[in-house]
Amino acid sequence: MIRFENVGLRYGMGPEVLRDVSFSIEPQSFQFLTGPSGAGKTSLLRLLFLSMKPTRGLISAFGHDTSTLSKSQVPGLRRRIGIVFQDFRLLDHMTTYENVALPLRVLGQQESDYRSDVVELLKWVGLGERMHVLPPVLSGGEKQRAAIARALITRPELLLADEPTGNVDPSLAQRLLRLFIELNRLGTSVVIATHDLGLMEQVDARRMILSGGRLAIHDD
């Protein structure tokens, strides 16, 4: 699905934040991405999401060499990937419902076609009563859940989540993890970047550990 070969990344003239990173994300796989703060987890997620290009090495996404992708091809590939950012990236002028429905609007779907799906997903993540609310009045956990719902609404082939349980209570963290596992069981590949050892211990999944810009992989 996605393959990295000897990928390196540096910002400007700075040191390499990722060095000789090689791995592949297989269809229907589940993996955690972990490592100390500043190890490059978010940078690696951004590379996976095609929002950055590596300074060296090869990245292949859904059979396309990303170095040869034209700008117009990127949105089509991004639609096959859902991403949950650590800082949520919700639009403050849109309600929770509108934020979650945004990917479907971008796809050109009519609201009458997606309304019930969005409402149902919001109810499931516990935001049924908060769907009319603007993000600035949501708590951190609620924003997190809205961001996850937005990433899931288009049923992506690959789900990338950056600290998805960082702002939620343990019980909701359990529910979110179970959702990720179910999504994976039904065919979605999942990459969860997290510091939460407790979360990782609940699932026998591949662990990708970043340290000093290098990646070590521990298969389950």
Partner 1 sequence: MTTEQAMANERRAAGQEPGGQAEGRRASASPRKNKASRDGKGGGRRRPPGDGLRPSAAIVPPQAVAGRALTLVVAIMSFLACITVGAVSVIDEAANAWSGDLVREVTIQIRPAEGVDMQREIDKAIALAEGMPGVGSVRALSDGETRSLLEPWLGGGLDLDTLPVPRLIEVAVDDPDIFPVADLKVAVGREITGGSLDDHSAWTERLASMANAMVIGGIAILALVLWSMALSVIFATRAAMAGNKDVVEVLHFVGAEDTFIAREFQRHFLLLGLRGGIAGGVFACLVFLVLEFAFREGSGIAGADQVDALFGGFSVGLVGYLGVLAIIFIVTVLTAATSRYAVRSHLARLE
- Under the rule (CB under 8 A), what is the footprint of partner 1? 49, 51-53, 71-72, 75-76, 78-79, 83, 85, 89-91, 93-95, 97-98, 101-103, 105-107, 110-113, 115-117, 119-121, 124, 131-132, 150, 152-155, 174-175, 178-179, 182-183, 185-188
Of 178 and 218, the one with the shorter C-beta distance to partner 1 is 178
Minimal distance, residue 128 CB to partner 1, in Å = 9
Of 85 and 215, the one with the shorter C-beta distance to partner 1 is 85
Among candidate residues 211, 192, 206, the one with its CA nearest the CA of residue 85:
192
Give, in degrees to the nearest 5, the angle at Cα 164 between 78 and 173.
Answer: 140
Minimal distance, residue 123 CB to partner 1, in Å = 9
Of 53 and 218, the one with the shorter C-beta distance to partner 1 is 53
Minimal distance, residue 99 CB to partner 1, in Å = 9
CB 17 within 8 A of CB 43: yes
Say if strands 2-10 and 158-162 run parallel, antiparallel, or are unpaired. Answer: unpaired
Minimal distance, residue 192 CB to partner 1, in Å = 15
Minimal distance, residue 218 CB to partner 1, in Å = 26
Check residue 68 and report its DSSP letter: G
Q: Look up residue 48 and give its two tokens.
A: 């996976």
Of 56 and 178, the one with the shorter C-beta distance to partner 1 is 178
Of 29 and 212, the one with the shorter C-beta distance to partner 1 is 29
Of 9 and 215, the one with the shorter C-beta distance to partner 1 is 9
Minimal distance, residue 132 CB to partner 1, in Å = 7
Sign of CA dihedral 106, 154, 34, 58: negative
CB 123 within 8 A of CB 149: no
Q: Look up residue 22 and give its two tokens.
A: 């090689």
Among candidate residues 61, 66, 21, 25, the one with its CA nearest the CA of residue 41:
21
CB 59 within 8 A of CB 7: yes
